[in-house]
Amino acid sequence: MRFFMPADTYVEKNCVKNHKEDILKIGSRALIVTGRSSAQKNGSLQDVTEVLKEGGVPYEVFAGVEENPSVDTVGKAAETGKKFGADFVIGIGGGSAIDAAKAIALLIANPEETINCLYQPKDLQAVPVIGIPTTCGTGSEATAVSVLTRHDVEIKKSIPYKIFPVLALVDGKYLLSASQNLLINTAVDALAHSVESFLHAKANEFNRMISGYALQLWKEEIPVLKKEQELTEDMAQHMMLTATIAGMAIAQTATSLPHAMSYEMTYRKGLPHGKACGIFLAAYMREYARQNKKDVDDILGFLGMEDLDAFEKLLAELIGKPEISEEELISYAENVSKDQGKIATYPYDITKEAIFEIYRASLVTD
Ligand SMILES: [Fe+2]
């Protein structure tokens, strides 16, 4: 049994400013990687550039990371970083920006390689990455995972490299300007991370301890997600903390079937990541409970919920159900059940029919 989480992690108000020295000692020229506009709006980019200016560290900003970042975007950003002579990368944003920052850091460290290396398991190291989340879901600041989109083969998939940020700086104030939709979609992603890690084939006492606590914290977010309470600064901090802790759980196990099932929903149907995972959670837990009811009851207990019906009702209220055809259902279920790596994340035998049933129960309104 092992616990491994090498990202030096701080969760506190004014985190970036408080850890100026920790940032400055990581490198001498920074590539900052962000989405198109949110890092400007929520103040995170300004905090980082002020610290770099004060420390005399030159930087270049690549503000072109799209949602579900493509390998091509990563390649472009890496070219910018190489031209600039960057020796570390700061990813600011949701999972897209931080995941992209990890792959960009790998390409910067290996200038002789092209983007083709990203999906080839080679012995490559990355330059250091700092992860600064601005949403309450990804957990990417606390994991080694980088999920990218390949348009050439129409898939969204993790690269095989394990790239932990060396420093994670988590400050709830960046969440205060988020829309209600973003809060819900990303918080549901953190919920999925906690649940999937708890029920994972690789689950052990360490990740279950972390997941269980993340679920207890998540319970306290429900009134904000249902808009029964305003998002206060303290609650924003709480939601970011929950996401980082849930990230620490998946750093031990990886995610499981709901994430595997989500990727095509995002790629083909344009569903935001958290929502695309969340729609499968209840049916997946129902299937799991047929083998092991206690684990599922433990999760419901952490969340303070009576049964899976209550869990399903809450998620339906928060994220709804997308429209889908029978042909799409069959094709998605076929693809997931063929992927042995994904199936192996589930601790029990699972048939193609059971996977199809999770899709059907999650997406078809009877
Ligand atoms: Fe996720």
- pLDDT tens digits for range 63-95: 999 999 999 999 999 999 999 999 999 999 999
**Structure pTM?**
0.97
In the prediction, which pLDDT does 155 show? 87
Q: What percent of the chain is modeled with pLDDT above 90?
A: 93
Say how many Å lie between the CA of residue 208 and the centre of ligand 1.
17
Most confident of 37-41, 156-160, 226-230: 226-230
Question: Which tokens in the block code for residue 49?
Answer: 């550039």
Task: Specify the 3-state DSSP secondary structure of 60.
Answer: strand
Say how many Å lie between the CA of residue 309 and the centre of ligand 1.
23
Say how many Å lie between the CA of residue 50 and the centre of ligand 1.
30
In this model, does residue 364 exceed pLDDT 90? no
b (16+ CB within 10 A) / e for 260-291: bbbbbbbbeeebbbbbbbbbbbbbbbbbbbee
Mean pLDDT of 104-114: 97
Largest CA distance in the chain: 62
Say how many Å lie between the CA of residue 247 and the centre of ligand 1.
9
Say how many Å lie between the CA of residue 140 and the centre of ligand 1.
9
Over residues 193-235, the pLDDT tens digits come to 999 999 999 999 999 999 999 999 999 999 999 999 999 999 9
Say how many Å lie between the CA of residue 92 and the centre of ligand 1.
17
In the prediction, which pLDDT does 81 show? 98
In the prediction, which pLDDT does 85 show? 98
- Cβ neighbour number for residue 358 with a 10 Å cutoff: 24
Say how many Å lie between the CA of residue 54 and the centre of ligand 1.
35
Question: Which tokens in the block code for residue 332?
Answer: 């998605």
Say how many Å lie between the CA of residue 58 and the centre of ligand 1.
32
Mean pLDDT of 348-365: 92
In the prediction, which pLDDT does 366 show? 67
Over residues 309-325, the pLDDT tens digits come to 999 999 999 999 888 88
Say how many Å lie between the CA of residue 249 and the centre of ligand 1.
12
Region of 14 on the Ramachandran plot (φ > 0 left; ψ -120 to 50 alpha; else beta): left
Which structural domains are found in the chain, ordered by start? 8-174 (3.40.50.1970), 180-363 (1.20.1090.10)
Say how many Å lie between the CA of residue 79 and the centre of ligand 1.
27
Q: What is the mean pLDDT of the chain?
A: 96
Say how many Å lie between the CA of residue 250 and the centre of ligand 1.
9
Mean pLDDT of 343-356: 95
Say how many Å lie between the CA of residue 189 and the centre of ligand 1.
5
Say how many Å lie between the CA of residue 153 and the centre of ligand 1.
21
